[in-house]
Structure 1
Amino acid sequence: MDVIEKALQTASKSHEGQYRKNTDIPYITHPVAVGMMLLKAGYSDEIVAAGVLHDTVEDTPLTLEDIEKEFGAKIANIVEGSSEPDKSLPWIDRKEHTINFLKTASEDIRAVVSADKLHNIRSIIRDYEKIGEEVWKRFNAGKEQQKWYYTNVVESLGTQSTFDLLKELRNEVDRLFEGMSKDEGIQGKYI
């Protein structure tokens, strides 16, 4: 079986019954979208598979050992680097860890994280276009904290290099936190 198909099956089973934050959208749409972004950007099958699996260890009963056994050390390493290490820590501690880690992370991890954050930002933008500032009530941390986090993630990802997914992410972060917020009367229009 192809590694991407195997990853899709594993992620689908692992995320079964989960939904995107405060929506009725099945969670699996997110890792599939991340994998599709990576595939479209020309990354290898292993990186695409890691993108599909990126939230399994963080949000499901699967362990890094399970991923390594089924997919090998390279994919497990990318999944580990794309996951928050300890969900029991406070939000700010987890986000600061991510920001610092990404400054020196491998290109493979940086690609997966860029696709992950890009899909998240685009989802927030779509919801912002529908419900405006109410979108921020879905998150444990509000708009200003989200702006701080995403802006710093973009900076950290750009420390060593730049690539197309990162450029897209930077544009979308600017669009959400700068352009759209300035003109709430024009729903979804970037100015």
Structure 2
Amino acid sequence: MQLIDKALRFAARAHEGQYRKGTKTPYITHPVAVGMLLLKHGYSEELVAAGILHDTVEDTDATLEDIEKIFGRNVAEVVAGCSEPDKSLGWEERKEHTIEFLKTASNEIRAVACADKLHNIASIMDDVTQGGEEIWTRFNRGRDQQEWYYRSLIDSLGTQGTFPLLEELKTAVQTAFANT
């Protein structure tokens, strides 16, 4: 648990002052939830730490070098695999890259990416329940494009076989987009 505790403290500092898109929910709740999903499914302490850190390089001033120095090469490789390589690209290009990359990614990267997407879609579903369909307008692309992305991710993540987190994601996506 020492590595997980260190990851929690590092991510909390890195994401300080950040909020979930369109909400007043502190951003740190997302990486913590991703880590908890991985822990619940019996993944290693290293992978849980990587899940907690998965957005630090993409969304904060933290670097992969920082992650590797503090948490080791394995954690840094998973964080790198879960980070979009070029945020200057358009939404479609970034999402298509992620979909293609995950088809051949390691099981560890696929597990963290799946936990990330599972928590994201669960959060969206909660927000839709409380605030209605207009919640989709807070995203760069609306409901239809989000549905395409999530369904494509499921296919991509399943290329190498299924696993319990992926089954949970499939169920959540089916529920979120049930009326289409």
Distance, in Å, in 1 between the alignment partners of 2:8 and 2:131 is 31
Q: 1:62-96 CA deviation, whole Å, 9 max, x = no partner?
A: 01111011111100000000111111110000000
Provide the residue aligned with 2:114 in structure 1: 114
| Greater displacement, 49-58 / 122-131 | 122-131
Q: 1:138-182 CA deviation, whole Å, 9 max, x = no partner?
A: 10101111001000001000000111100000110011012xx46
Q: Does 1:16 align with 2:49?
A: no
Within a 5 Å distance, the mapping from 1:22-37 to structure 2 comes to 22-37=22-37
Task: State the 1:132 CA deviation.
Answer: 1.8
Distance, in Å, in 2 between the alignment partners of 1:63 and 1:125 is 32
Within a 5 Å distance, the mapping from 1:2-13 to structure 2 comes to 2-13=2-13
Larger radius of gyration: 1
Percent identity over the alignment is 64
Distance, in Å, in 1 between the alignment partners of 2:138 and 2:22 is 6
Distance, in Å, in 2 between the alignment partners of 1:146 and 1:171 is 16
Distance, in Å, in 1 between the alignment partners of 2:120 and 2:41 is 17
Provide the residue aligned with 1:70 in structure 2: 70
Provide the residue aligned with 2:165 in structure 1: 165
Letter in 1 for 2:124: I
Cα RMSD (Å): 0.9
Structure 2 length as normaliser, TM-score? 0.98
Distance, in Å, in 2 between the alignment partners of 1:24 and 1:131 is 14
Letter in 2 for 1:106: S
Provide the residue aligned with 1:38 in structure 2: 38
Distance, in Å, in 1 between the alignment partners of 2:85 and 2:145 is 20
Q: Number of residues paired by the alignment?
A: 180
Q: 1:31-90 CA deviation, whole Å, 9 max, x = no partner?
A: 000000000100000000000000000000001111011111100000000111111110
Task: State the 1:131 CA deviation.
Answer: 1.8
Letter in 1 for 2:43: Y
Structure 2: which 5+ runs fail to align? none
Q: Does 1:48 align with 2:39?
A: no
Secondary structure of the corresponding residue to residue 51 of structure 2: helix
Q: Does 1:156 align with 2:156?
A: yes
Structure 1: which 5+ runs fail to align? 183-191
Provide the residue aligned with 1:187 in structure 2: none
Distance, in Å, in 2 between the alignment partners of 1:8 and 1:16 is 12
Distance, in Å, in 1 between the alignment partners of 2:134 and 2:15 is 26
Letter in 2 for 1:158: G
Distance, in Å, in 2 between the alignment partners of 1:75 and 1:161 is 23
Task: State the 1:28 CA deviation.
Answer: 0.1
